[in-house]
Structure 1
Amino acid sequence: MPIVDLGGIPTRYQTVGEGPPLLMFSPGGFDSSLENWTTFGRYRDLGFVDAFRSSYTCVVFDRRESGRSGGRVERLTWSAYVDQALRLIDHLGLDRVHTMGGCVGCSTAAALAVAAPERVRSMVLFSPAGGPRYRMAQHRRFVQHLAFVAEHGLPAVVDLARSTEAGFSQDPRVGPWAAPLRTDAAFAASYAAGDPARYELVVTGTVRGLFDRDTVPGVEAEDLMTLDVPALVVPGQDSSHAPSAARYLQECLPVHEYWDVPVAEQTALTAPRRILTFLGEH
């Protein structure tokens, strides 16, 4: 798969299928690799890419700090994730794209629509991450990571990340830069030599900015309420994908369809068909 430099961030991506472009923001939190569309949780069974490839060109990619993409030790923000996405579609020579987010990918999809509505034809927000328990879980992970750094130091984070395949969601000690620590020796050396006090500020600023609300993070209600990009909202139903998060998007987005179907009825037969119907209308 090709890897392209996007604003100093090596980004691995793949295009699959034929037809209008569909930019897909992977599920998986801080482990949002492109493989997650076919291997991660319920997405493994839903088979979205295979279902869409005959009608759309699916653009899948590793979010920065995930999979084989690179990263930088800096305060991570939703705007940084949007920047990566915009640079990717520019690299591919795409003017306007449909978008789809799964899980936390919904936040970047929505943030992209707010930042550059002229580039987005429509967006599918599938099982958006959010809710009070989701916020608390994210903050808890960062606290555990900083506690490990305080006790053992940054070189120990590098050693731990390279000794395991667990991501930040599975083992908070490895932190949000675990993926590039494993794949980029120069990045790992620079990380290990970093100033712990500065690193603590970067991490603290990251979690405070990314997860600052008890609903879908990344976008302000007022910005959503003035957005005219058509959206399909599909609810989740657990502590990380609270139904209230999907309802928040339903309430805020002026142009939307809400697929009011329980998760148990969102199957490989029903979910791709519903999404293809929506995309075909826009």
Structure 2
Amino acid sequence: MPRTVIDGITTRYAVTGDGPPILMYSPGGFDSRLENWETLGIYRRTGILARLAASYTCITFDRRESGLSGGRVERLSWSSYVDQGAGLLSHLGFSSAFLMGGCVGCSSVLALARAHPSLARGLVLYSPAGGPRYRITQHARFATHAAYVRSAGLDAVVELARSSDASFTKDPRVGPWVTVIRTDPAFAESFAKLDPARYELLLAATARVLYDRDTVPGAEPEDLMALDVPALIVPGQDASHAPSAARYLQECLPAADYWDMPVADQESTAPARVLEFLNAH
């Protein structure tokens, strides 16, 4: 599977299908691997990637700090993921594309569209992650990891990461850089030598910047209200994908097309609805 280096960080990606390009930010939180479009929950059950690839060029990738992409210990923000997506489009020679996000990928899509509106032909926001319980859960994960670093040290984080295949979501103790620790020995060595106090400050800043509101993070509401890009919103309905988060996007995005369909009824019709939207734009 091809890889490229964007801003000094390796990105693993795949290009499938033929037609207008769709840059697809993967679902899965801090385990946002490209395979999730075919193996995770509703995305697997709908077969949406295969359906889209029959008519479009689908660009999927491991988000930095996920899968086999690389990473860098720094304060993470949504602009970190903007740079990765925009850099990948540039690497592939596309000056614009449809942008699609699943789950947490919706926040990256919004941030990219806000930063580079000329890149965005249209947005598909599938089950956007957000809501008060989502924010509380994310902050708790970072707090759990910080507490483990404080009690056991960074060497123990490296050892724990290498002793299991648990993600940051499954076992918060391993932290948000766990996949890079596992796949890059030089990174793991340098990670273990970080100053723990400064690392803890970085964790606190990352959690605050990424999860700063009780709805969909990624872009300010005023910026969304000025974003004149067609957008299809497919709502979710659980603690991490609150219906209120999808309704918030409907309220903020001036060219929003809100698909008022219960999650239980989406599986058989979602690919057709997404294709209908893409074909219209």
Alignment of 1:145-156 (within 5 A): 145-156=145-156
Aligned equivalent of 1:163: 163
Alignment of 1:51-130 (within 5 A): 51-130=51-130
Q: Does 1:210 align with 2:210?
A: yes
Aligned equivalent of 2:144: 144
- Per-residue deviation at 1:79? 0.5
Structure 2 unaligned blocks of 5 or more: none
Aligned equivalent of 1:10: 10
RMSD: 0.6
One-letter identity of the residue aligned with 2:13: Y
Structure 2 distance, partners of 1:53, 1:235, is 22
Structure 2 distance, partners of 1:163, 1:19, is 43
Structure 1 distance, partners of 2:254, 2:77, is 25
Aligned equivalent of 1:42: 42
Q: Does 1:244 align with 2:218?
A: no
Structure 1 distance, partners of 2:169, 2:104, is 12
Identity among equivalent pairs (%): 64
Q: Does 1:180 align with 2:165?
A: no
Structure 2 distance, partners of 1:115, 1:228, is 13
Structure 1 distance, partners of 2:21, 2:137, is 34
Aligned equivalent of 1:274: 273
- Per-residue deviation at 1:84? 0.5
Structure 2 distance, partners of 1:201, 1:273, is 46
Structure 1 unaligned blocks of 5 or more: none
Structure 2 distance, partners of 1:280, 1:96, is 16
Structure 1 distance, partners of 2:39, 2:154, is 31
Using structure 1 for the length normalisation, give the TM-score: 0.99
Structure 1 distance, partners of 2:198, 2:10, is 24
One-letter identity of the residue aligned with 1:31: D
One-letter identity of the residue aligned with 1:59: I
Structure 1 distance, partners of 2:254, 2:264, is 27
Structure 2 distance, partners of 1:107, 1:47, is 22
Alignment of 1:190-229 (within 5 A): 190-229=190-229
Structure 1 distance, partners of 2:46, 2:67, is 21
Structure 1 distance, partners of 2:200, 2:25, is 28
Aligned equivalent of 2:189: 189
Aligned partner of residue 206 in structure 1, secondary structure: helix
One-letter identity of the residue aligned with 2:38: T
One-letter identity of the residue aligned with 1:42: I
- Per-residue deviation at 1:42? 2.0
Aligned partner of residue 228 in structure 2, secondary structure: coil
- Per-residue deviation at 1:41? 2.0
One-letter identity of the residue aligned with 1:102: G
Deviations 1:3-54 (A, max 9, x none): 1110111000000000000000000000000010011122211111101111
Aligned residue pairs, count: 281
- Per-residue deviation at 1:116? 0.3
Question: Which segments of structure 1 move beyond 3 Å, counting only runs of 4 or more?
Answer: none
Deviations 1:76-131 (A, max 9, x none): 00001100101000000001100110000000001111000001100100000000
One-letter identity of the residue aligned with 1:87: G
Aligned partner of residue 261 in structure 1, secondary structure: coil
Q: Does 1:261 align with 2:225?
A: no
Deviations 1:229-271 (A, max 9, x none): 100001000000000000000000000100000000011x300
Structure 2 distance, partners of 1:25, 1:47, is 16
Q: Does 1:23 align with 2:27?
A: no
Deviations 1:160-218 (A, max 9, x none): 11111110010000000011000000000000111101101111100010001000011
Using structure 2 for the length normalisation, give the TM-score: 0.99
